[in-house]
C-alpha cells in the first residue's frame, strides 16, 4: 500500500495499458468476424434493374364497372341519394311503400322485383325478354318477364272477334205407320221432308234418330198427338227431343277468333277441336260460346278457360 501511495502514477499508467490491451484484443476478434457478418451484403453482385409488373386486378374491376353502370332501378335511397318517386296526376307517389299501384292491376312490388321501368307509361305493353308476351300478360300468368323460357299459356293470346249463330230448325210431323218410320222437315237445310227409321241419319245434319215415344195430350176434350222423337248428334253426343208438330231449334254456333301471338284469324265451330301454334300437338275444344265470351277446354288437362272479347 505504501508503494501505491508513493507510485500511484505508475499504477494508473499500468492499468491504462492493460485496458488498452484488452480493447485491442476485442477489436481484433470483431474484425476477424466481418466476412461472415457481411457475407449477405456483397456489393460486388450485379443489381437487378428490371421493372416488375404492377397488379392490375383493381384496374380491370374499375374498367368493368365503367362499362356496366350501376342499375338504380331498385335503389331505395341513401344518405345522399333520395329514394325514387313518380309524379302522377300532380302528386308524388312512392312506389316502394305507397298505397297506390302505378299500373293497375300490376303491383308495384312486382315491377320492382324484376327491375322494370315502372315510371314509363307503356310498361304494361312492353316485352323485355322478347318472348311475344307483354308485362301485363306475364304478371297475370305469374311468369318471369325477363326469362324467355318462362311464358304464359298460349291460349291467353286468344280473343273472341265475333259470335256467329246459324239457326237449325227441325219439325217432327208424325209417323205414318205407327212408329216404323218418321217424317222430319229441316227448314234451314233446304231439303225435302225425310222419312226415316230408328238409327238413320237426318240428311244434311250430324243427327240420327235414336228413340220414339208415343204420347197424346188432351186439350178442349180433343186428343192431340204429343209423341216425342229423340235425335242425337253423332259428333258431340248432344240429344234433342222433338215434339210432334212443334218446331225445335238447335243453333249451330261458330266463333271467329283473333290470335294475338301471330295476329292470325280463324273460325271454329262449337264442339270442334283446334290447336294453337307453336304447339300443334296441344288440342283445345270450343265447348261454349256467346256474344260476350267463349269457353275452351284443354283436351289434355280437361281444364276450361274463358276467352274474352277482342
Strands 216-219 and 207-213: unpaired
Strands (E), 80-151: 86-88, 91-93
Give the pLDDT score at 299: 92
Task: Tell me which residue of 106, 110, 156 sits closest to 133, measured CA to CA.
Answer: 156
Cβ(77)–Cβ(83) under 8 Å? yes
Give the pLDDT score at 13: 80
The single residue listed with the C-alpha cell 188432351 is 218
* Cβ atoms < 10 Å from Cβ of 240: 15
Cβ(195)–Cβ(209) under 8 Å? no
The count of residues in the chain is 310
Q: Is 28 left (phi over 0), alpha (psi -120 to 50) or beta?
A: alpha
Tell me how far CA of residue 71 lies from CA of 108, 115, 121, 146, in angstroms: 18, 9, 20, 15
Helix (H, G, I), strand (E, B) or coil at 253: strand
Tell me the backbone φ, ψ of residue 65, rounded to 5 degrees: -65, -35
Sorted by sequence, the CB contacts under 8 Å of residue 87 that are 6+ apart come out as: 93
Please state, in angstroms and rounded to a whole number, the distance separating the CA atoms of residues 93 and 113.
Answer: 18
pTM exceeds 0.75 for this model = no
* pLDDT tens sequence for the chain (310 residues): 676 677 777 777 878 888 888 888 788 777 777 667 666 565 566 677 777 777 788 888 888 877 776 555 555 555 666 677 777 777 777 777 767 888 889 988 898 889 888 888 899 999 999 888 999 999 998 999 999 999 999 999 999 999 988 777 888 888 888 888 988 888 766 667 888 889 998 887 778 998 998 888 887 888 888 888 898 888 777 788 888 888 877 667 899 999 999 999 999 988 889 999 999 999 999 988 888 899 999 999 999 999 999 8
Cβ(268)–Cβ(161) under 8 Å? no
Grid cell listed for 106:
300490376
Instruction: Label residues 133-150 b or e (16+ Cβ within 10 Å = b).
Output: bbbbbbbeeebbbeeeee
Sketch the domain layout of the chain as residue ranges. 81-152, 158-164+252-307, 169-249
Amino acid at each position: 500500500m505504501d508503494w501505491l501511495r508513493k507510485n500511484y502514477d505508475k499504477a494508473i499508467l499500468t492499468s491504462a495499458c492493460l485496458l488498452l490491451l484488452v480493447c485491442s484484443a476485442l477489436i481484433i476478434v470483431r474484425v476477424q468476424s466481418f466476412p461472415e457478418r457481411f457475407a449477405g451484403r456483397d456489393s460486388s453482385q450485379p443489381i437487378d434493374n428490371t421493372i416488375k409488373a404492377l397488379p392490375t386486378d383493381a384496374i380491370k374491376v374499375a374498367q368493368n364497372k365503367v362499362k356496366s353502370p350501376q342499375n338504380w332501378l331498385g335503389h331505395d335511397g341513401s344518405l345522399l341519394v333520395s329514394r325514387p318517386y313518380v309524379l302522377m296526376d300532380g302528386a308524388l307517389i312512392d312506389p316502394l311503400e305507397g298505397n297506390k299501384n302505378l299500373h293497375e292491376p300490376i303491383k308495384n312490388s312486382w315491377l320492382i322485383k324484376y327491375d322494370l321501368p315502372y315510371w314509363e307509361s307503356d310498361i304494361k305493353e312492353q316485352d323485355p325478354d322478347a318472348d311475344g308476351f307483354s308485362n301485363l300478360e306475364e304478371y297475370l300468368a305469374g311468369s318471369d318477364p325477363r326469362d324467355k323460357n318462362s311464358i304464359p299459356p298460349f291460349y291467353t293470346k286468344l280473343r273472341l272477334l265475333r259470335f256467329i249463330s246459324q239457326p237449325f230448325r227441325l219439325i217432327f210431323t208424325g209417323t205414318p205407320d205407327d212408329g216404323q218410320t218418321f217424317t222430319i222437315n229441316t227448314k234451314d237445310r233446304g231439303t225435302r221432308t225425310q222419312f226415316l227409321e230408328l238409327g238413320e241419319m237426318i240428311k244434311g245434319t250430324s243427327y240420327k234418330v235414336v228413340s220414339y215415344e208415343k204420347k197424346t195430350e188432351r186439350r178442349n176434350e180433343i186428343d192431340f198427338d204429343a209423341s216425342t222423337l229423340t235425335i242425337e248428334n253423332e259428333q258431340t253426343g248432344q240429344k234433342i227431343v222433338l215434339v210432334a208438330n212443334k218446331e225445335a231449334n238447335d243453333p249451330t254456333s261458330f266463333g271467329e277468333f283473333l290470335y294475338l301471338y301471330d295476329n292470325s284469324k280463324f273460325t271454329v265451330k262449337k264442339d270442334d277441336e283446334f290447336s294453337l301454334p307453336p304447339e300443334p300437338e296441344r288440342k283445345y275444344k270450343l265447348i261454349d260460346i256467346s256474344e260476350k265470351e267463349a269457353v275452351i277446354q284443354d283436351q289434355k288437362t280437361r281444364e276450361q278457360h274463358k276467352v274474352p272479347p277482342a
